[in-house]
Structure 1
Protein backbone atom coordinates (compact mmCIF):
# COMPACT_ATOMS: atom_id res chain seq x y z
CA UNK A 1 0.00 0.00 0.00
CA UNK A 2 2.68 2.54 1.01
CA UNK A 3 5.42 2.52 -1.59
CA UNK A 4 7.20 5.70 -0.49
CA UNK A 5 7.33 8.21 2.35
CA UNK A 6 7.85 11.95 2.10
CA UNK A 7 9.48 13.88 4.92
CA UNK A 8 7.69 17.20 5.35
CA UNK A 9 6.09 19.41 2.73
CA UNK A 10 7.64 22.45 1.02
CA UNK A 11 10.35 23.05 3.65
CA UNK A 12 11.72 26.07 1.78
CA UNK A 13 8.31 27.76 1.80
CA UNK A 14 7.67 29.86 4.90
CA UNK A 15 4.04 28.76 4.90
CA UNK A 16 5.27 25.29 5.91
CA UNK A 17 8.60 25.84 7.72
CA UNK A 18 9.44 28.94 9.75
CA UNK A 19 12.80 30.36 8.55
CA UNK A 20 12.86 32.82 11.44
CA UNK A 21 13.30 29.86 13.80
CA UNK A 22 15.66 27.93 11.54
CA UNK A 23 17.36 30.39 9.18
CA UNK A 24 20.01 27.96 7.91
CA UNK A 25 17.73 24.87 7.88
CA UNK A 26 20.15 23.05 10.18
CA UNK A 27 17.32 22.01 12.49
CA UNK A 28 15.30 20.82 9.54
CA UNK A 29 18.27 18.83 8.29
CA UNK A 30 18.83 17.20 11.67
CA UNK A 31 15.15 16.22 11.79
CA UNK A 32 15.17 14.70 8.30
CA UNK A 33 18.40 12.83 8.92
CA UNK A 34 16.90 11.25 12.05
CA UNK A 35 13.66 10.42 10.23
CA UNK A 36 15.46 8.90 7.26
CA UNK A 37 17.46 6.65 9.54
CA UNK A 38 14.40 5.71 11.59
CA UNK A 39 12.33 4.68 8.55
CA UNK A 40 15.22 2.71 7.08
CA UNK A 41 15.55 0.90 10.40
CA UNK A 42 11.93 -0.27 10.21
CA UNK A 43 11.77 -0.96 6.46
CA UNK A 44 15.10 -0.77 4.62
CA UNK A 45 13.34 -1.07 1.26
CA UNK A 46 11.06 1.92 1.74
CA UNK A 47 11.67 4.78 -0.73
CA UNK A 48 12.37 7.98 1.22
CA UNK A 49 11.48 11.27 -0.47
CA UNK A 50 12.60 14.75 0.52
CA UNK A 51 9.59 17.01 1.05
CA UNK A 52 8.69 18.63 -2.25
CA UNK A 53 10.40 21.99 -2.53
CA UNK A 54 8.60 25.15 -3.56
CA UNK A 55 10.10 27.23 -5.05
CA UNK A 56 12.28 24.95 -7.18
CA UNK A 57 15.69 26.07 -5.97
CA UNK A 58 18.88 24.16 -6.83
CA UNK A 59 20.86 26.22 -4.31
CA UNK A 60 18.58 25.01 -1.55
CA UNK A 61 19.18 21.38 -2.55
CA UNK A 62 22.91 22.03 -2.73
CA UNK A 63 22.78 23.50 0.79
CA UNK A 64 20.86 20.53 2.18
CA UNK A 65 23.50 18.31 0.64
CA UNK A 66 26.15 19.98 2.79
CA UNK A 67 24.00 19.13 5.83
CA UNK A 68 23.84 15.44 4.96
CA UNK A 69 20.20 15.37 3.94
CA UNK A 70 20.79 13.84 0.51
CA UNK A 71 22.35 10.83 2.24
CA UNK A 72 19.10 10.31 4.17
CA UNK A 73 16.68 10.33 1.22
CA UNK A 74 16.42 8.41 -2.04
CA UNK A 75 14.36 10.86 -4.11
CA UNK A 76 14.10 14.64 -4.41
CA UNK A 77 10.66 16.09 -5.03
CA UNK A 78 9.61 19.43 -6.47
CA UNK A 79 6.33 21.36 -6.61
CA UNK A 80 5.27 23.80 -9.28
CA UNK A 81 2.23 25.93 -10.08
CA UNK A 82 3.36 28.16 -12.95
CA UNK A 83 -0.12 29.38 -13.89
CA UNK A 84 -1.08 30.26 -10.32
CA UNK A 85 1.82 31.10 -7.97
CA UNK A 86 5.22 30.68 -9.62
CA UNK A 87 7.11 33.36 -11.51
CA UNK A 88 7.94 31.18 -14.51
CA UNK A 89 5.99 29.84 -17.46
CA UNK A 90 4.52 26.38 -17.76
CA UNK A 91 6.71 25.40 -20.71
CA UNK A 92 9.78 25.79 -18.46
CA UNK A 93 8.94 22.60 -16.55
CA UNK A 94 11.63 20.40 -18.17
CA UNK A 95 14.27 23.04 -17.50
CA UNK A 96 13.19 23.34 -13.86
CA UNK A 97 13.54 19.58 -13.40
CA UNK A 98 16.95 19.68 -15.07
CA UNK A 99 18.16 22.32 -12.59
CA UNK A 100 17.62 19.90 -9.70
CA UNK A 101 19.02 16.92 -11.59
CA UNK A 102 22.21 18.89 -12.16
CA UNK A 103 22.89 19.43 -8.44
CA UNK A 104 21.74 15.95 -7.30
CA UNK A 105 22.65 13.60 -10.15
CA UNK A 106 22.31 10.47 -8.02
CA UNK A 107 18.72 11.14 -7.00
CA UNK A 108 15.61 10.76 -9.18
CA UNK A 109 13.45 13.88 -9.28
CA UNK A 110 9.71 13.45 -8.77
CA UNK A 111 7.08 16.15 -9.29
CA UNK A 112 4.99 15.51 -6.20
CA UNK A 113 2.66 18.48 -6.71
CA UNK A 114 1.74 20.16 -9.96
CA UNK A 115 -1.54 21.89 -10.56
CA UNK A 116 -3.48 24.58 -12.33
CA UNK A 117 -6.52 26.10 -10.68
CA UNK A 118 -9.81 27.26 -12.09
CA UNK A 119 -9.76 30.54 -10.14
CA UNK A 120 -9.72 32.64 -13.30
CA UNK A 121 -11.46 30.28 -15.72
CA UNK A 122 -12.06 26.55 -15.89
CA UNK A 123 -10.74 26.50 -19.46
CA UNK A 124 -7.33 27.51 -18.09
CA UNK A 125 -7.26 24.36 -15.99
CA UNK A 126 -8.04 22.20 -19.04
CA UNK A 127 -5.06 23.69 -20.84
CA UNK A 128 -2.92 23.22 -17.74
CA UNK A 129 -3.71 19.52 -17.40
CA UNK A 130 -2.98 18.85 -21.06
CA UNK A 131 0.24 20.84 -21.15
CA UNK A 132 1.49 19.36 -17.88
CA UNK A 133 0.96 15.82 -19.16
CA UNK A 134 2.74 16.70 -22.39
CA UNK A 135 5.75 18.16 -20.57
CA UNK A 136 6.17 15.86 -17.58
CA UNK A 137 4.72 12.40 -18.22
CA UNK A 138 7.72 10.37 -19.32
CA UNK A 139 10.13 13.17 -18.35
CA UNK A 140 10.17 12.25 -14.64
CA UNK A 141 9.43 8.91 -12.95
CA UNK A 142 6.46 10.22 -10.95
CA UNK A 143 4.01 13.10 -11.36
CA UNK A 144 1.16 13.89 -8.95
CA UNK A 145 -1.63 16.27 -9.97
CA UNK A 146 -2.90 18.59 -7.24
CA UNK A 147 -5.72 17.94 -6.62
CA UNK A 148 -8.87 15.84 -7.02
CA UNK A 149 -11.20 18.04 -4.94
CA UNK A 150 -11.58 21.77 -4.48
CA UNK A 151 -10.84 22.80 -0.91
CA UNK A 152 -14.08 23.70 0.92
CA UNK A 153 -14.03 27.41 1.66
CA UNK A 154 -15.08 26.99 5.29
CA UNK A 155 -12.10 24.74 6.06
CA UNK A 156 -9.40 27.29 5.28
CA UNK A 157 -6.07 26.61 3.58
CA UNK A 158 -3.07 25.37 5.58
CA UNK A 159 -0.92 28.44 5.10
CA UNK A 160 0.32 30.89 7.68
CA UNK A 161 -0.89 34.23 6.35
CA UNK A 162 -4.32 33.34 4.95
CA UNK A 163 -6.38 36.30 3.64
CA UNK A 164 -3.37 38.61 3.94
CA UNK A 165 -1.97 36.79 0.89
CA UNK A 166 -4.71 38.34 -1.28
CA UNK A 167 -5.74 36.45 -4.41
CA UNK A 168 -2.87 34.01 -3.85
CA UNK A 169 -4.75 32.70 -0.83
CA UNK A 170 -8.09 32.31 -2.60
CA UNK A 171 -6.54 30.28 -5.41
CA UNK A 172 -6.09 27.45 -2.90
CA UNK A 173 -9.83 26.78 -3.08
CA UNK A 174 -9.96 26.21 -6.86
CA UNK A 175 -7.20 23.64 -7.47
CA UNK A 176 -9.43 20.57 -7.69
CA UNK A 177 -10.78 18.72 -10.71
CA UNK A 178 -14.09 18.38 -8.86
CA UNK A 179 -15.98 21.34 -7.41
CA UNK A 180 -16.91 21.65 -3.75
CA UNK A 181 -20.48 20.61 -4.59
CA UNK A 182 -19.21 17.33 -6.07
CA UNK A 183 -19.70 18.14 -9.74
CA UNK A 184 -16.81 17.55 -12.17
CA UNK A 185 -15.02 20.39 -13.89
CA UNK A 186 -13.97 20.16 -17.55
CA UNK A 187 -10.45 19.57 -16.25
CA UNK A 188 -11.46 16.12 -15.03
CA UNK A 189 -12.12 14.96 -18.59
CA UNK A 190 -8.74 16.37 -19.61
CA UNK A 191 -7.05 14.50 -16.76
CA UNK A 192 -8.76 11.13 -17.29
CA UNK A 193 -6.63 9.93 -20.26
CA UNK A 194 -3.49 10.50 -18.18
CA UNK A 195 -4.66 9.12 -14.82
CA UNK A 196 -2.68 5.89 -15.03
CA UNK A 197 0.58 7.77 -15.61
CA UNK A 198 -0.08 11.00 -13.68
CA UNK A 199 -1.12 10.29 -10.11
CA UNK A 200 -3.06 12.48 -7.74
CA UNK A 201 -2.08 14.44 -4.66
CA UNK A 202 -5.01 14.79 -2.26
CA UNK A 203 -4.82 15.92 1.35
CA UNK A 204 -7.44 14.33 3.58
CA UNK A 205 -8.33 16.37 6.64
CA UNK A 206 -8.90 14.69 9.99
CA UNK A 207 -11.98 12.45 9.63
CA UNK A 208 -12.49 13.82 6.12
CA UNK A 209 -15.99 12.89 4.89
CA UNK A 210 -14.76 13.02 1.25
CA UNK A 211 -12.57 9.92 1.61
CA UNK A 212 -15.06 7.32 0.28
CA UNK A 213 -16.00 9.55 -2.66
CA UNK A 214 -12.34 10.11 -3.46
CA UNK A 215 -11.72 6.36 -3.57
CA UNK A 216 -14.69 5.89 -5.91
CA UNK A 217 -13.45 8.59 -8.28
CA UNK A 218 -9.86 7.34 -8.29
CA UNK A 219 -10.95 3.80 -9.11
CA UNK A 220 -13.24 5.07 -11.86
CA UNK A 221 -10.35 7.06 -13.34
CA UNK A 222 -7.88 4.16 -12.97
CA UNK A 223 -5.54 6.22 -10.78
CA UNK A 224 -2.62 4.12 -9.59
CA UNK A 225 -0.42 6.51 -7.62
CA UNK A 226 -1.69 8.69 -4.79
CA UNK A 227 0.15 11.10 -2.54
CA UNK A 228 -1.51 12.03 0.73
CA UNK A 229 -0.50 12.79 4.31
CA UNK A 230 -0.52 11.56 7.87
CA UNK A 231 -0.26 14.58 10.12
CA UNK A 232 2.06 14.41 13.11
CA UNK A 233 -0.06 17.14 14.70
CA UNK A 234 -3.26 15.13 14.14
CA UNK A 235 -1.71 12.13 15.86
CA UNK A 236 -2.41 13.85 19.20
CA UNK A 237 -6.15 14.19 18.54
CA UNK A 238 -8.57 11.83 20.28
CA UNK A 239 -9.05 8.63 18.25
CA UNK A 240 -6.29 9.63 15.85
CA UNK A 241 -5.16 6.06 15.17
CA UNK A 242 -8.72 5.04 14.39
CA UNK A 243 -8.85 7.71 11.68
CA UNK A 244 -5.40 6.84 10.34
CA UNK A 245 -6.45 3.18 10.14
CA UNK A 246 -9.64 4.01 8.25
CA UNK A 247 -7.78 6.27 5.85
CA UNK A 248 -5.05 3.79 5.05
CA UNK A 249 -7.47 0.87 4.75
CA UNK A 250 -9.57 2.86 2.27
CA UNK A 251 -6.46 3.56 0.18
CA UNK A 252 -5.11 0.02 0.15
CA UNK A 253 -5.71 -0.49 -3.59
CA UNK A 254 -3.38 2.36 -4.57
CA UNK A 255 0.38 2.89 -4.48
CA UNK A 256 0.53 5.52 -1.77
CA UNK A 257 3.22 8.07 -1.01
CA UNK A 258 2.47 9.21 2.51
CA UNK A 259 3.71 12.62 3.67
CA UNK A 260 4.69 13.08 7.31
CA UNK A 261 4.51 16.73 8.37
CA UNK A 262 3.03 19.44 10.61
CA UNK A 263 4.57 20.00 14.04
CA UNK A 264 2.17 19.64 17.00
CA UNK A 265 1.86 23.08 18.58
CA UNK A 266 2.82 21.83 22.03
CA UNK A 267 6.04 20.28 20.69
CA UNK A 268 7.26 23.15 18.52
CA UNK A 269 9.63 25.95 19.39
CA UNK A 270 7.22 28.44 17.87
CA UNK A 271 4.00 26.67 18.93
CA UNK A 272 2.90 26.47 15.31
CA UNK A 273 2.70 23.70 12.71
CA UNK A 274 5.57 25.29 10.76
CA UNK A 275 7.91 25.32 13.73
CA UNK A 276 10.98 23.14 14.20
CA UNK A 277 10.20 20.66 16.97
CA UNK A 278 11.88 20.99 20.33
CA UNK A 279 13.09 17.42 19.95
CA UNK A 280 13.53 16.27 16.32
CA UNK A 281 13.76 12.65 17.45
CA UNK A 282 10.03 12.78 18.23
CA UNK A 283 9.27 13.39 14.56
CA UNK A 284 11.53 10.49 13.59
CA UNK A 285 9.75 8.28 16.10
CA UNK A 286 6.37 9.22 14.61
CA UNK A 287 7.58 8.35 11.10
CA UNK A 288 8.96 5.02 12.27
CA UNK A 289 5.77 4.17 14.15
CA UNK A 290 3.61 4.85 11.10
CA UNK A 291 5.80 2.69 8.87
CA UNK A 292 5.79 -0.08 11.47
CA UNK A 293 1.98 0.11 11.53
CA UNK A 294 1.25 0.39 7.80
CA UNK A 295 4.32 -0.70 5.84
CA UNK A 296 6.67 -2.90 7.86
CA UNK A 297 9.40 -4.80 6.08
CA UNK A 298 8.17 -8.09 4.69
CA UNK A 299 9.95 -11.17 6.06
CA UNK A 300 12.23 -12.97 3.67
CA UNK A 301 10.67 -15.99 2.02
CA UNK A 302 11.66 -19.30 3.48
CA UNK A 303 13.82 -21.48 1.29
CA UNK A 304 11.96 -24.20 -0.58
CA UNK A 305 14.24 -26.98 0.56
CA UNK A 306 17.48 -27.86 2.19
CA UNK A 307 20.70 -29.20 0.80
Structure 2
Protein backbone atom coordinates (compact mmCIF):
# COMPACT_ATOMS: atom_id res chain seq x y z
CA UNK A 1 0.00 0.00 0.00
CA UNK A 2 3.04 2.30 0.30
CA UNK A 3 5.26 3.15 -2.68
CA UNK A 4 7.43 5.74 -0.93
CA UNK A 5 8.02 7.02 2.59
CA UNK A 6 8.94 10.57 3.62
CA UNK A 7 10.91 11.05 6.82
CA UNK A 8 9.15 13.94 8.56
CA UNK A 9 7.39 16.97 7.10
CA UNK A 10 9.22 20.28 6.53
CA UNK A 11 12.00 19.66 9.05
CA UNK A 12 13.67 22.99 8.22
CA UNK A 13 10.46 24.88 9.05
CA UNK A 14 10.10 25.91 12.69
CA UNK A 15 6.37 25.27 12.49
CA UNK A 16 7.10 21.53 12.12
CA UNK A 17 10.51 20.93 13.76
CA UNK A 18 11.67 22.97 16.76
CA UNK A 19 15.11 24.42 15.83
CA UNK A 20 15.75 25.55 19.39
CA UNK A 21 16.08 21.89 20.37
CA UNK A 22 18.16 20.96 17.31
CA UNK A 23 19.87 24.12 16.03
CA UNK A 24 22.23 22.37 13.59
CA UNK A 25 19.73 19.66 12.56
CA UNK A 26 22.13 16.95 13.71
CA UNK A 27 19.35 15.20 15.63
CA UNK A 28 17.11 15.34 12.57
CA UNK A 29 19.93 13.92 10.45
CA UNK A 30 20.39 11.08 12.94
CA UNK A 31 16.62 10.52 12.77
CA UNK A 32 16.84 10.26 8.96
CA UNK A 33 19.78 7.86 9.11
CA UNK A 34 18.00 5.57 11.55
CA UNK A 35 14.60 5.75 9.85
CA UNK A 36 16.06 5.40 6.36
CA UNK A 37 17.97 2.31 7.43
CA UNK A 38 14.91 0.83 9.14
CA UNK A 39 12.70 1.36 6.08
CA UNK A 40 15.28 -0.22 3.78
CA UNK A 41 15.65 -3.17 6.12
CA UNK A 42 11.91 -3.81 6.03
CA UNK A 43 11.50 -3.30 2.28
CA UNK A 44 14.32 -2.05 0.05
CA UNK A 45 11.83 -1.34 -2.74
CA UNK A 46 10.15 1.49 -0.80
CA UNK A 47 11.54 4.83 -2.00
CA UNK A 48 12.87 6.89 0.93
CA UNK A 49 12.26 10.63 0.72
CA UNK A 50 14.00 13.32 2.74
CA UNK A 51 11.42 15.39 4.61
CA UNK A 52 10.09 17.96 2.14
CA UNK A 53 11.90 21.22 2.81
CA UNK A 54 10.15 24.55 3.23
CA UNK A 55 11.74 26.96 2.54
CA UNK A 56 13.68 25.57 -0.41
CA UNK A 57 17.22 25.92 0.88
CA UNK A 58 20.33 24.52 -0.81
CA UNK A 59 22.47 25.33 2.25
CA UNK A 60 20.21 23.17 4.42
CA UNK A 61 20.55 20.29 1.95
CA UNK A 62 24.32 20.62 2.06
CA UNK A 63 24.12 20.48 5.85
CA UNK A 64 22.14 17.26 5.55
CA UNK A 65 24.82 15.83 3.28
CA UNK A 66 27.50 16.84 5.78
CA UNK A 67 25.64 15.01 8.54
CA UNK A 68 25.40 11.87 6.37
CA UNK A 69 21.61 11.93 6.02
CA UNK A 70 21.55 11.93 2.20
CA UNK A 71 23.20 8.52 2.17
CA UNK A 72 20.01 7.07 3.62
CA UNK A 73 17.39 8.57 1.28
CA UNK A 74 16.67 8.09 -2.40
CA UNK A 75 14.87 11.37 -3.15
CA UNK A 76 15.11 14.98 -2.00
CA UNK A 77 11.77 16.79 -1.74
CA UNK A 78 10.78 20.45 -1.90
CA UNK A 79 7.62 22.33 -0.91
CA UNK A 80 6.61 25.67 -2.36
CA UNK A 81 3.76 28.17 -2.02
CA UNK A 82 4.91 31.28 -3.91
CA UNK A 83 1.51 33.02 -3.99
CA UNK A 84 0.80 32.44 -0.30
CA UNK A 85 3.88 32.09 1.92
CA UNK A 86 7.14 32.17 -0.04
CA UNK A 87 9.13 35.30 -0.89
CA UNK A 88 9.63 34.42 -4.54
CA UNK A 89 7.33 34.58 -7.60
CA UNK A 90 5.59 31.53 -9.03
CA UNK A 91 7.60 31.85 -12.25
CA UNK A 92 10.77 31.07 -10.23
CA UNK A 93 9.79 27.43 -9.76
CA UNK A 94 12.30 26.08 -12.33
CA UNK A 95 15.08 28.15 -10.73
CA UNK A 96 14.22 26.82 -7.26
CA UNK A 97 14.40 23.24 -8.54
CA UNK A 98 17.74 23.99 -10.21
CA UNK A 99 19.16 25.33 -6.93
CA UNK A 100 18.62 21.95 -5.28
CA UNK A 101 19.72 19.95 -8.31
CA UNK A 102 23.02 21.84 -8.19
CA UNK A 103 23.83 20.47 -4.72
CA UNK A 104 22.16 17.06 -5.16
CA UNK A 105 23.06 15.98 -8.69
CA UNK A 106 22.90 12.33 -7.65
CA UNK A 107 19.23 12.15 -6.58
CA UNK A 108 15.87 13.04 -8.14
CA UNK A 109 14.01 16.10 -6.83
CA UNK A 110 10.29 15.76 -6.14
CA UNK A 111 7.86 18.62 -5.49
CA UNK A 112 5.85 16.89 -2.77
CA UNK A 113 3.77 19.88 -1.72
CA UNK A 114 2.80 22.70 -4.06
CA UNK A 115 -0.25 24.86 -3.89
CA UNK A 116 -2.05 28.14 -4.23
CA UNK A 117 -4.90 29.08 -1.93
CA UNK A 118 -8.17 30.89 -2.53
CA UNK A 119 -7.74 33.18 0.49
CA UNK A 120 -7.70 36.34 -1.62
CA UNK A 121 -9.71 35.22 -4.63
CA UNK A 122 -10.66 31.88 -6.11
CA UNK A 123 -9.51 33.13 -9.52
CA UNK A 124 -5.97 33.32 -8.15
CA UNK A 125 -6.08 29.62 -7.34
CA UNK A 126 -7.20 28.83 -10.89
CA UNK A 127 -4.24 30.75 -12.29
CA UNK A 128 -1.95 29.09 -9.76
CA UNK A 129 -2.81 25.52 -10.64
CA UNK A 130 -2.45 26.08 -14.38
CA UNK A 131 0.87 27.90 -13.99
CA UNK A 132 2.23 25.33 -11.53
CA UNK A 133 1.36 22.53 -13.92
CA UNK A 134 3.02 24.38 -16.79
CA UNK A 135 6.22 24.98 -14.82
CA UNK A 136 6.64 21.67 -12.96
CA UNK A 137 4.96 18.70 -14.62
CA UNK A 138 7.67 18.37 -17.24
CA UNK A 139 10.41 19.51 -14.86
CA UNK A 140 10.37 16.97 -11.99
CA UNK A 141 9.25 13.32 -11.76
CA UNK A 142 6.54 13.84 -9.14
CA UNK A 143 4.33 16.79 -8.19
CA UNK A 144 1.69 16.75 -5.41
CA UNK A 145 -0.93 19.48 -5.14
CA UNK A 146 -1.89 20.64 -1.64
CA UNK A 147 -4.72 19.96 -1.15
CA UNK A 148 -8.03 18.30 -2.06
CA UNK A 149 -10.08 19.70 0.83
CA UNK A 150 -10.04 23.00 2.67
CA UNK A 151 -9.10 22.58 6.32
CA UNK A 152 -12.15 23.29 8.51
CA UNK A 153 -11.37 26.35 10.63
CA UNK A 154 -12.69 24.71 13.77
CA UNK A 155 -10.00 22.04 13.48
CA UNK A 156 -7.06 24.47 13.62
CA UNK A 157 -3.82 24.22 11.63
CA UNK A 158 -0.78 22.27 12.84
CA UNK A 159 1.64 25.17 13.26
CA UNK A 160 3.67 26.17 16.30
CA UNK A 161 2.48 29.79 16.58
CA UNK A 162 -1.08 29.54 15.22
CA UNK A 163 -3.00 32.84 15.20
CA UNK A 164 0.16 34.77 16.09
CA UNK A 165 1.21 34.21 12.47
CA UNK A 166 -1.47 36.67 11.34
CA UNK A 167 -2.89 36.22 7.84
CA UNK A 168 -0.28 33.55 7.14
CA UNK A 169 -2.08 31.31 9.61
CA UNK A 170 -5.53 31.83 8.09
CA UNK A 171 -4.34 30.95 4.60
CA UNK A 172 -4.04 27.35 5.81
CA UNK A 173 -7.82 27.07 5.65
CA UNK A 174 -8.15 27.97 1.94
CA UNK A 175 -5.67 25.64 0.20
CA UNK A 176 -8.17 23.00 -0.95
CA UNK A 177 -9.85 22.47 -4.29
CA UNK A 178 -13.07 21.70 -2.41
CA UNK A 179 -14.53 23.96 0.28
CA UNK A 180 -15.07 22.74 3.83
CA UNK A 181 -18.80 22.45 3.09
CA UNK A 182 -18.05 19.94 0.31
CA UNK A 183 -18.69 22.20 -2.68
CA UNK A 184 -16.04 22.40 -5.43
CA UNK A 185 -14.09 25.56 -6.20
CA UNK A 186 -13.44 26.65 -9.81
CA UNK A 187 -9.87 25.33 -9.57
CA UNK A 188 -11.09 21.73 -9.22
CA UNK A 189 -12.11 21.63 -12.89
CA UNK A 190 -8.64 22.87 -13.83
CA UNK A 191 -6.91 20.33 -11.59
CA UNK A 192 -8.88 17.56 -13.30
CA UNK A 193 -6.93 18.29 -16.49
CA UNK A 194 -3.72 17.26 -14.73
CA UNK A 195 -4.97 14.65 -12.24
CA UNK A 196 -3.37 11.72 -14.06
CA UNK A 197 0.05 13.44 -13.80
CA UNK A 198 -0.19 15.64 -10.71
CA UNK A 199 -0.77 13.84 -7.44
CA UNK A 200 -2.64 15.18 -4.44
CA UNK A 201 -1.34 15.85 -0.95
CA UNK A 202 -4.06 15.40 1.67
CA UNK A 203 -3.60 15.03 5.41
CA UNK A 204 -6.21 12.88 7.14
CA UNK A 205 -6.79 13.61 10.81
CA UNK A 206 -7.34 10.77 13.26
CA UNK A 207 -10.64 9.07 12.31
CA UNK A 208 -11.15 11.75 9.66
CA UNK A 209 -14.78 11.78 8.48
CA UNK A 210 -13.66 13.01 5.03
CA UNK A 211 -11.77 9.83 4.09
CA UNK A 212 -14.48 8.10 2.07
CA UNK A 213 -15.44 11.35 0.31
CA UNK A 214 -11.78 11.93 -0.55
CA UNK A 215 -11.49 8.50 -2.13
CA UNK A 216 -14.64 9.08 -4.19
CA UNK A 217 -13.41 12.44 -5.41
CA UNK A 218 -9.98 11.06 -6.32
CA UNK A 219 -11.51 8.17 -8.22
CA UNK A 220 -13.79 10.53 -10.15
CA UNK A 221 -10.87 12.85 -10.93
CA UNK A 222 -8.60 10.02 -12.07
CA UNK A 223 -5.94 10.70 -9.43
CA UNK A 224 -3.15 8.11 -9.40
CA UNK A 225 -0.79 9.38 -6.71
CA UNK A 226 -1.45 10.56 -3.18
CA UNK A 227 0.79 11.89 -0.45
CA UNK A 228 -0.61 11.58 3.06
CA UNK A 229 0.62 10.88 6.57
CA UNK A 230 0.74 8.30 9.34
CA UNK A 231 1.24 10.00 12.68
CA UNK A 232 3.66 8.56 15.22
CA UNK A 233 1.76 10.52 17.89
CA UNK A 234 -1.57 9.04 16.78
CA UNK A 235 -0.16 5.52 17.06
CA UNK A 236 -0.57 5.80 20.84
CA UNK A 237 -4.29 6.64 20.68
CA UNK A 238 -6.85 3.96 21.53
CA UNK A 239 -7.97 2.36 18.27
CA UNK A 240 -4.97 3.70 16.33
CA UNK A 241 -4.30 0.51 14.36
CA UNK A 242 -7.95 0.17 13.41
CA UNK A 243 -7.83 3.70 12.00
CA UNK A 244 -4.50 3.20 10.24
CA UNK A 245 -5.79 -0.04 8.69
CA UNK A 246 -8.98 1.63 7.52
CA UNK A 247 -7.09 4.58 6.06
CA UNK A 248 -4.55 2.51 4.19
CA UNK A 249 -7.15 0.04 2.91
CA UNK A 250 -9.24 2.92 1.56
CA UNK A 251 -6.19 4.26 -0.30
CA UNK A 252 -5.03 0.89 -1.61
CA UNK A 253 -5.74 1.69 -5.29
CA UNK A 254 -3.43 4.72 -5.22
CA UNK A 255 0.34 5.04 -5.35
CA UNK A 256 0.87 6.33 -1.81
CA UNK A 257 3.74 8.45 -0.56
CA UNK A 258 3.32 8.30 3.21
CA UNK A 259 4.86 10.87 5.54
CA UNK A 260 5.95 9.67 8.97
CA UNK A 261 5.97 12.53 11.49
CA UNK A 262 4.57 14.07 14.71
CA UNK A 263 6.34 13.20 17.95
CA UNK A 264 4.22 11.79 20.80
CA UNK A 265 4.33 14.24 23.72
CA UNK A 266 5.67 11.63 26.13
CA UNK A 267 8.56 10.72 23.81
CA UNK A 268 9.73 14.21 22.84
CA UNK A 269 12.50 16.29 24.35
CA UNK A 270 9.60 18.69 24.97
CA UNK A 271 5.94 17.73 25.10
CA UNK A 272 5.06 18.88 21.58
CA UNK A 273 4.58 17.16 18.23
CA UNK A 274 7.32 19.32 16.63
CA UNK A 275 9.93 18.23 19.16
CA UNK A 276 12.78 15.93 18.27
CA UNK A 277 12.51 12.56 19.98
CA UNK A 278 14.42 11.76 23.14
CA UNK A 279 15.40 8.54 21.36
CA UNK A 280 15.39 8.84 17.54
CA UNK A 281 15.51 5.05 17.29
CA UNK A 282 11.96 4.93 18.66
CA UNK A 283 10.80 6.89 15.61
CA UNK A 284 12.77 4.58 13.31
CA UNK A 285 11.06 1.61 14.95
CA UNK A 286 7.66 3.18 14.23
CA UNK A 287 8.63 3.64 10.56
CA UNK A 288 9.75 0.02 10.34
CA UNK A 289 6.51 -1.16 11.95
CA UNK A 290 4.38 0.79 9.47
CA UNK A 291 6.37 -0.42 6.45
CA UNK A 292 6.21 -4.02 7.61
CA UNK A 293 2.44 -3.68 8.09
CA UNK A 294 1.51 -1.80 4.92
CA UNK A 295 4.39 -2.43 2.49
CA UNK A 296 6.04 -5.70 3.46
CA UNK A 297 8.81 -7.07 1.31
CA UNK A 298 8.00 -10.07 -0.85
CA UNK A 299 8.57 -13.48 0.80
CA UNK A 300 11.59 -14.07 -1.44
CA UNK A 301 13.20 -10.79 -0.43
CA UNK A 302 12.37 -11.43 3.23
CA UNK A 303 14.15 -14.79 2.97
CA UNK A 304 17.18 -13.17 1.33
CA UNK A 305 17.25 -10.47 4.02
CA UNK A 306 17.10 -13.07 6.79
TM range (shorter): over 0.9
Match of 1:221 in 2: 221
Match of 1:182 in 2: 182
Following TM superposition, by how much is the alpha carbon of 1:45 offset from its aligned partner in structure 2, in angstroms? 1.3
Match of 2:275 in 1: 275
TM-score of the two chains, using structure 1 as the length reference: 0.97
Task: Name the SS of the counterpart of 2:106 in structure 1.
Answer: coil
Task: Name the SS of the counterpart of 1:300 in structure 2.
Answer: helix
Match of 1:137 in 2: 137
Q: Give the Cα–Cα distance (whole angstroms) in 2 for the partners of residues 289 and 244 of structure 1.
A: 12
Q: Give the Cα–Cα distance (whole angstroms) in 2 for the partners of residues 81 and 182 of structure 1.
A: 23
**Uncovered stretches (5+) of structure 2, i.e. residues with no partner:** 302-306
Match of 2:304 in 1: none
Q: What is the Cα-based RMSD across aligned positions, in Å?
A: 0.7
Task: Name the SS of the counterpart of 1:112 in structure 2.
Answer: strand
Q: Give the Cα–Cα distance (whole angstroms) in 2 for the partners of residues 57 and 298 of structure 1.
A: 37
Matches within 5 A, 1:35-74: 35-74=35-74
Q: Deviations over 1:260-304 (max 9, x none)?
A: 000001100011111110000000000000000000111339xxx
Match of 2:89 in 1: 89
2:220 corresponds to 1:205: no
Q: Deviations over 1:23-82 (max 9, x none)?
A: 000111111100000011010111000010000000000010000010010000000000
Match of 2:297 in 1: 297
Q: Give the Cα–Cα distance (whole angstroms) in 1 for the partners of residues 148 and 261 of structure 2.
A: 20
**Uncovered stretches (5+) of structure 1, i.e. residues with no partner:** 302-307
TM-score of the two chains, using structure 2 as the length reference: 0.98
Match of 1:102 in 2: 102
Task: Name the SS of the counterpart of 1:213 in structure 2.
Answer: helix
Q: Give the Cα–Cα distance (whole angstroms) in 2 for the partners of residues 68 and 113 of structure 1.
A: 24
Q: Give the Cα–Cα distance (whole angstroms) in 1 for the partners of residues 299 and 130 of structure 2.
A: 42
Following TM superposition, by how much is the alpha carbon of 1:110 offset from its aligned partner in structure 2, in angstroms? 0.2
Moved over 2 A (4+): none
Q: Give the Cα–Cα distance (whole angstroms) in 2 for the partners of residues 242 and 176 of structure 1.
A: 27
Q: Give the Cα–Cα distance (whole angstroms) in 2 for the partners of residues 183 and 221 of structure 1.
A: 15
Q: Give the Cα–Cα distance (whole angstroms) in 1 for the partners of residues 134 and 104 of structure 2.
A: 24
